[in-house]
Chain A
Amino acid sequence: MDWSQIDLRMVGALWNQAWQNAGITPPLLTVINWVVAAVVLLLVGLNMVIGLIWLERKIAARIQDRLGPNRVGPFGLLQTVADALKLLTKEDITPTEADRITYNLAPALAVFHVLMTLAVIPFADGVIGADLNVGVLYIVAFGSMGSMAALMAGWASNNKYALVGGFRVVAQLLSYEIPLVFAMMIPVLVAGTMRMNGLAQAQGQFGGLGWYVWVMPCAFFIFLAATLAEGERAPFDLLEAESEIVAGFNIEYSGMKFAWFFLAFFLNSWVLSAIGTTLFLGGWQGPFVDRIPALGVVYFFAKTMVMFWVLAWIRATFPRLRIDQMMDFCWKFLVPLALVLLVGTAILLKLGLPSPFDGLALLVWNLVLLIGGFWLLGKAQHRAVYASKRAFTPQLPRL
């Protein structure tokens, strides 16, 4: 069987032909195709969350030298299914005088915003829900809706702690959206397009070395830090952690509504990993993908899972940041770093260096910023620690 001849588009052509033979004409046929595509996309996303939750629990468990779920199903794979069934059948305790409509709308909005971002992720060359001309901005748009969902959840619960948790979550999400947008702007700058599929296609030169992560590691670092904060993951999960302000804005949610927040959290982490894969790790690019297009799906999922694994690894490893440390890190480190990176990248790429050297110059600039930035951060921390220690023990030796 000649694998290079198998094209997903052939399947599509056969499908359309079958419907047309049955008498369904193009306008209605397009709508039917859309509905099928939307349902498939949703099913892929939702079913993946089952695997993702299991994976994250296993990774966290193994890093903490314990076993993780291993009772329900082989290797505990059905644990998430059992949890979902439990949440489905739990009683929904609505607090008194909670605003009914907003209270019910908030979890729906949280799931909605994540499911919508699935539409612009390229799973393979051309296998994308809608290759919008504004793909990157579309993702930013629906990401910003997530902060509204958190605010609504906090307000609707009629609970002080939920409200304060909601405010703080919104402050965190808003603040880290700026470095995220700037970090996403830099691949757009280099590729010259905002289409997600176009960004993946632009990373195909030089084999695996055309990926943007090799050329702009600083931008990838900013993206990674902003992703951790946008996904409310450790080490930025002060506001949702179980031991902190008692689970933040979703204190008063139980049962299925809580399940929706939980699902939105994991799917958001996965979607952000997928976006990072597309923007920095080459998306569906890989060996032989131009001859066998279906391999793109394999490469894409492999890279996204690696990035998700890194996110779970970071969660299990680092302690949390305080909220003032988090805000300082964003506004005083990431945003200036991103601005300087953007200006330097723009100037460097216009100097007119020949083809491999502009990439090298870019890499040098990124490394200079990364190392310089961390050095400055280290000095600032050093000064802060020294100043706080000196307040208590004046006999410290001079550093």
Chain B
Amino acid sequence: MPIVFLILALFTVVMAIGTVTARNLFHAALFLIGAFFGVATIYVLLEAEFLAVSQIIIYIGAIATLIVFAIMLSRSMMGREAGGYNRFWLAAAVGAAALWSLLAWVLTTVSFPVVNQPVPADAIFQIGTGLVGPYVIPFEVASILLVVALIGAVMIARERHRQR
């Protein structure tokens, strides 16, 4: 079992590294899709299958497509090279190293509570009752958030349209 986790985690990390180092933006988006898929497999290992399929449906199906469309909207289509480095690379490297060491320190010294109970067989049923039970306020707030995002997107797109 740990070996499966190691393989999947390695796959995810390799895909993530590919995302940030790819020369071509479209390739970076493809690596990102691979990273999302890797995260979904790790959710499966945690027996959170609803979360895994939601990850694939929303991140790979919707958000990755959105990212690809945003890439194509923002630059000339067949532009190949995306210029990997600019003049601030030293500051960025220092910042990334600092963040990494902070995260490593937190993860190794803080003792996170571990849930030892097995995942219930009717987990999705419990999520369902939870969403309209104890967690109904976040549920409704989520819908308002989604509508706000929708209205915001339409407003911004309409303005762009009028500016043309």
Physical contact A–B (CB less than 8 Å): yes
Q: When the two chains form their complex, are residues A102 and B49 in contact, meaning their CB atoms are under 8 A apart? A: no
By a beta-carbon cutoff of 8 Å, the part of chain A in contact with chain B is: 99, 101-102, 105, 132-134, 137-138, 140-145, 147-148, 151-152, 155, 158, 163, 167, 170, 174, 177, 194
Rounded to whole angstroms, the CA-CA distance of A134 and B55 in the bound complex is 13
By a beta-carbon cutoff of 8 Å, the part of chain B in contact with chain A is: 24, 26-27, 30, 33, 49-50, 52-54, 56-57, 60-62, 64-65, 68-69, 77-78, 123-124
**Nearest Cβ on chain B to A109's Cβ, whole angstroms:** 10
Q: When the two chains form their complex, are residues A137 and B65 in contact, meaning their CB atoms are under 8 A apart? A: no
Q: When the two chains form their complex, are residues B53 and A138 in contact, meaning their CB atoms are under 8 A apart? A: yes
A102 — which chain B residues lie within 8 A by C-beta?
Answer: 26-27, 30
Rounded to whole angstroms, the CA-CA distance of A158 and B78 in the bound complex is 7
**Nearest Cβ on chain B to A214's Cβ, whole angstroms:** 26
Which residue among B50, B53, B60 has the maximum number of chain A CB atoms within 10 Å of its CB? B53
**CB pairs A–B below 8 angstroms (7 shown):** A141-B60, A144-B56, A144-B60, A145-B60, A148-B64, A163-B77, A174-B61
B60 — which chain A residues lie within 8 A by C-beta?
Answer: 141, 144-145, 148
- Compute the total of residue contacts between A and B using a CB distance below 8 Å: 62
Q: Known: A145-B56, A151-B68, A163-B77. Contact between A134 and B61, CB under 8 A?
A: no
B77 — which chain A residues lie within 8 A by C-beta?
Answer: 163
A170 — which chain B residues lie within 8 A by C-beta?
Answer: 65
Q: When the two chains form their complex, are residues B56 and A133 in contact, meaning their CB atoms are under 8 A apart? A: no
Q: When the two chains form their complex, are residues B30 and A141 in contact, meaning their CB atoms are under 8 A apart? A: no
Q: Contacting B53 at CB < 8 Å: which of A101, A137, A147, A152?
A: A137
**Nearest Cβ on chain B to A94's Cβ, whole angstroms:** 16
Q: When the two chains form their complex, are residues A133 and B68 in contact, meaning their CB atoms are under 8 A apart? A: no
User: Which 7 A/B pairs are nearest by Cβ-Cβ distance?
Assistant: A144-B61, A141-B56, A137-B53, A141-B53, A141-B57, A134-B53, A134-B49
Rounded to whole angstroms, the CA-CA distance of A158 and B124 in the bound complex is 44
Q: When the two chains form their complex, are residues A140 and B124 in contact, meaning their CB atoms are under 8 A apart? A: no
Q: Known: A134-B50, A158-B78, A163-B77. Contact between A147 and B57, CB under 8 A?
A: no
B49 — which chain A residues lie within 8 A by C-beta?
Answer: 132-134
Q: When the two chains form their complex, are residues B26 and A141 in contact, meaning their CB atoms are under 8 A apart? A: no
Rounded to whole angstroms, the CA-CA distance of A167 and B27 in the bound complex is 17
Rounded to whole angstroms, the CA-CA distance of A133 and B49 in the bound complex is 8
**Nearest Cβ on chain B to A140's Cβ, whole angstroms:** 6
Extra contacts, 20 of them, besides A133-B50, A148-B65, A151-B65 (Cβ < 8 A), are A99-B24, A99-B26, A101-B27, A134-B50, A137-B50, A140-B53, A140-B57, A140-B61, A141-B60, A144-B61, A145-B56, A148-B33, A148-B60, A148-B61, A148-B64, A151-B68, A152-B30, A155-B68, A163-B77, A194-B124
Q: Known: A145-B56, A155-B26, A163-B77. Contact between A134 and B65, CB under 8 A?
A: no
B69 — which chain A residues lie within 8 A by C-beta?
Answer: 167
Q: Known: A148-B65, A155-B26. Contact between A134 and B124, CB under 8 A?
A: yes
Rounded to whole angstroms, the CA-CA distance of A147 and B65 in the bound complex is 8
Rounded to whole angstroms, the CA-CA distance of A174 and B123 in the bound complex is 28
A144 — which chain B residues lie within 8 A by C-beta?
Answer: 56-57, 60-62
**Nearest Cβ on chain A to B6's Cβ, whole angstroms:** 18
Q: When the two chains form their complex, are residues B54 and A137 in contact, meaning their CB atoms are under 8 A apart? A: yes
B54 — which chain A residues lie within 8 A by C-beta?
Answer: 137
CB-CB nearest in chain B for A97 = B78
Q: Contacting B61 at CB < 8 Å: which of A99, A105, A132, A147?
A: A147
Q: Known: A134-B50, A152-B30. Contact between A145 and B78, CB under 8 A?
A: no
